[in-house]
């Protein structure tokens, strides 16, 4: 049965909508993180399953402050990216984010003239297939919910983030909207996701006292079973057996931005010309992803890695890889990785590789940098999750 992902929600104190957020100095706060696709990108848009992992070390925080509006005019929301220096911000013009305020008001019933300033501090590099746009949208949604004391269930958060993603990228599967709030690997298909019980590194979100009582909603984007408890220790949720999958995923930034929207449109044009190409790709990716999910459950890291490499070949054949990306995949495999592939939208972005143990991960990192990677991150799983290797 599909279960929802964990989501921050905030209690509704039943204050009148017109009075919310007017307290002097009140600030709303929200957090999200990066994600990486293990298998199934692009095919997921056409109904295939996909596997993704959260990347908690690449986080986004958003702070929202209500401003006094002029006597006349429409609602206004502004976004800015926090800079490296104290108080340094860069205005952010993003159509996907601008739709959040009217959609948020419609869902929550906040009325009256509203003007809000949102500052986003994003550690996720943009254009790398790591979910930066969805993470920024999720963090902003949660900051608005906190600012206006509105409780949002998981379905409402998903709907708001997904609406923003569709503006940003065109066609969007919804996996980024969910994975940027997940705490363990996700098996995603057709708008529903199941969190898989694999130990991952914990992260402590810096929350104010007002957030201490935040709890998971009982409503998922598609179904409505109760959430499993949120984890911060890297272990399996209480009462759930953990998959015996031990490995380390190495993410490498190629240094070249990709364009998810351009990649989606490229595939759409190919599939318009050949329905058989679409069918073959979707079926091939589906088989690999389902098999990889079984490998994950049974701890078969070598088999999982081999399916990653096969998935890369499918994406390469469709023109979604580049010479630089292929070079990084080859470098990871030459260093002894169990498998490697492009991760995310393609046409640039990141490569993800699987290492069986820390020394192999270190060798993979070195090889990737020698091949031109500009930065790398290691996401340990299973027995490596709480180690600093």
Average pLDDT (249-271) is 92
Contact 246, 299 (CB under 8 A): yes
For 60-108, what is each residue's pLDDT tens digit? 999 999 988 876 668 889 999 997 766 667 877 777 898 899 999 999 9
User: How far is it, in rounded angstroms, from Cα 196 to Cα 222?
Assistant: 17
- Greater confidence (237 vs 120) lies with 120
The position carrying tokens 């088989």 is 287
The encoded tokens of residue 352 equal 């993800």
Q: What pLDDT, on the 0 to 100 scale, is given for residue 96? A: 81
Contact 197, 242 (CB under 8 A): yes
For 23-34, what is each residue's pLDDT tens digit? 556 899 999 999
- Greater confidence (178 vs 227) lies with 178
Query: Is pLDDT of 287 > 90?
Result: yes
Query: Is pLDDT of 383 > 80?
Result: yes
Contact 384, 247 (CB under 8 A): yes
The encoded tokens of residue 167 equal 């503006």
Q: Write the DSSP symbol of residue 238.
A: T
Helices (H) and strands (E) in the chain, counts: 10, 11
For 232-247, what is each residue's pLDDT tens digit? 333 444 445 678 899 9
Query: Is pLDDT of 389 > 80?
Result: no
Binned at pLDDT 50, 70 and 90, residue 1 comes out as very low
Average pLDDT, the chain: 83
The encoded tokens of residue 249 equal 């995923």
Could you tell me which of 239, 43, 27, 187 has the C-alpha nearest to residue 118? 27
Q: What pLDDT, on the 0 to 100 scale, is given for residue 87? A: 65
The model's pTM = 0.81
Residues 6+ apart with CB under 8 A from 72: none
Q: Write the DSSP symbol of residue 225.
A: P
Could you tell me which of 195, 240, 201 has the C-alpha nearest to residue 221? 195
For 310-338, what is each residue's pLDDT tens digit? 999 999 999 999 999 999 999 999 999 99
- Greater confidence (203 vs 67) lies with 67
Residue % of the chain over a pLDDT of 70: 80
Computed on alpha carbons and rounded to an integer, the radius of gyration of the chain in Å comes to 21
User: How far is it, in rounded angstroms, from Cα 34 to Cα 37?
Assistant: 10
The position carrying tokens 């692009």 is 42
């Amino acid at each position: 049965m599909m279960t929802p992902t964990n989501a921050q929600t905030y209690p509704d104190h039943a204050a009148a909508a017109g009075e919310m957020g007017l307290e002097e100095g009140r600030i709303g706060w929200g957090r999200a993180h990066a994600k990486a696709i293990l298998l199934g990108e692009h095919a997921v848009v056409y109904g295939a399953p996909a596997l993704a992992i959260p990347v908690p070390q690449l986080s986004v925080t958003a702070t929202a402050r209500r401003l006094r509006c002029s006597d006349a005019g429409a609602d206004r929301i502004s976004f800015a990216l926090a800079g490296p220096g104290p108080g340094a911000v860069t205005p952010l013009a993003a159509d996907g984010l601008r739709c959040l305020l009217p959609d948020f008001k419609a869902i929550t019933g906040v009325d009256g003239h509203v003007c809000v300033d949102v500052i986003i501090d994003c550690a996720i590099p943009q254009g790398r297939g790591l979910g930066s746009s969805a993470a920024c949208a999720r963090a902003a949604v949660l900051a608005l919910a906190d600012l206006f004391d509105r409780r949002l269930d998981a379905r409402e958060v998903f709907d708001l983030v997904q609406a923003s993603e569709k503006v940003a990228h065109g066609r969007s599967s919804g996996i980024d909207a969910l994975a940027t709030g997940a705490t363990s690997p996700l098996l995603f298909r057709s708008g529903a996701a199941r969190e898989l019980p694999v130990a991952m590194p914990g992260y402590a979100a810096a929350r104010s006292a007002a957030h201490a009582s935040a709890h998971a909603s009982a409503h998922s984007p598609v179904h409505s079973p109760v959430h499993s408890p949120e984890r911060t220790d890297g272990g399996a949720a209480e009462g759930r057996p953990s998959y015996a999958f031990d490995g380390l995923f190495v993410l490498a930034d190629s240094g070249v931005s990709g364009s998810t929207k351009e990649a989606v449109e490229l595939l759409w044009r190919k599939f318009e010309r050949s329905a058989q190409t679409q069918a073959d790709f979707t079926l091939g990716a589906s088989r690999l992803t389902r098999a990889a999910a079984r490998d994950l459950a049974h701890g078969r890291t070598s088999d999982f890695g081999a399916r990653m490499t096969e998935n890369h070949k499918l994406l390469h054949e469709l023109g979604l890889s580049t010479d630089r990306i292929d070079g990084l995949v080859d470098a990871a495999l030459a260093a002894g990785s169990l498998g490697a592939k492009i991760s995310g939208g393609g046409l640039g972005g990141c490569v993800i590789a699987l290492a069986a143990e820390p020394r192999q991960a270190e060798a993979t990192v070195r090889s990737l940098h020698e091949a031109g990677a500009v930065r790398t991150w290691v996401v340990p799983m299973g027995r490596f999750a709480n180690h600093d290797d």
